[in-house]
Amino acid sequence: MASLIRDKARGAAAGHTYRIQFCDGQGQRLAVYLGRTSLRVAEEWRSRVEQLVAAKIGGVALSADLAAWLRDLPATAHGKLAHVGLVGERVKAEVVTLEQTCQRFLDSAVAKPGTVLIWRQCIDSMLRFFGASTPINSITPEQGDGWKKWLSEPHETIFGRSRTKAIRRLAVATQAKRLVVGKQIFRCAVRWGLMEKNPLDGIRGGSNANSSRAFYVTPQMIAAIIDNCPNVEWRLIFALARYAGLRCPSEVAGLSWQDVNWEQSGLRVRSPKTEHHAGGDSRMVPITPPLMAILDGAFVLAPDGATLIVPGYQKMTANLRTQGIRVIEAAGLKPWPKLFQNMRSSRETEWLEEFPIKAVASWMGHSELVSLKHYAQILPEHFISATGKIAHADCSAPNPQNAAQQGVMASCMKVDKKKKTVLPSEGNTVLSGKTEVLGEKRIGAERFELSTSWSQTRRATNCATLRRRAT
Distance CA 192, CA 22 (A): 39
Domain-embedded: residue 468: no
Specify whether 276 is located in the same domain as 323.
yes
- Rounded average pLDDT over 308-331: 81
pLDDT band, very low/low/confident/very high, at 93 (cuts 50, 70, 90): low
Which of 258-262, 316-320, 451-455 shows the lowest per-residue confidence on average (mean pLDDT)? Answer: 451-455
Is the model's pLDDT at 224 over the cut of 90? yes
Is the model's pLDDT at 409 over the cut of 50? no
Tell whether omega for the bond before 249 is within 30 degrees of 0, i.e. cis. yes
Closest CA to 179 of 202, 156, 153: 202
Given a contact cutoff of 8 angstroms between Cβ atoms, the answer to whether 339 and 324 are in contact is yes
Domain-embedded: residue 397: no
Domain end, chosen from 182, 208, 234, is at: 208
Instruction: Please indicate whether residue 426 or residue 268 has the higher confidence score (pLDDT).
Output: 268
Instruction: State the residue range of the domain holding 441.
Output: 219-377+433-459
Domain-embedded: residue 90: no
Specify whether 223 is located in the same domain as 269.
yes
- Rounded average pLDDT over 234-242: 94
Separation of CA 126 from chain center: 17
- Rounded average pLDDT over 213-242: 93
Instruction: Please indicate whether residue 168 or residue 152 has the higher confidence score (pLDDT).
Output: 152
Specify whether 54 is located in the same domain as 114.
no
Specify whether 303 is located in the same domain as 338.
yes
Average pLDDT, the chain: 80
Given a contact cutoff of 8 angstroms between Cβ atoms, the answer to whether 109 and 119 are in contact is yes
What is the percentage of the chain residues whose pLDDT exceeds 70?
77
Specify whether 243 is located in the same domain as 301.
yes
- Rounded average pLDDT over 198-223: 86
Given a contact cutoff of 8 angstroms between Cβ atoms, the answer to whether 308 and 243 are in contact is no
Separation of CA 25 from chain center: 61
pLDDT at 280: 72
pLDDT at 284: 93
Specify whether 203 is located in the same domain as 226.
no
Specify whether 303 is located in the same domain as 369.
yes
pLDDT at 457: 59
Is the model's pLDDT at 279 over the cut of 80? no
pLDDT at 465: 62
Specify whether 67 is located in the same domain as 124.
no
CATH code, domain carrying 167 = 1.10.150
Domain-embedded: residue 388: no
Domains held by the chain: number: 3
Q: CA dihedral in degrees (216, 217, 218, 220; nearest 10)?
A: 160
Specify whether 180 is located in the same domain as 66.
no
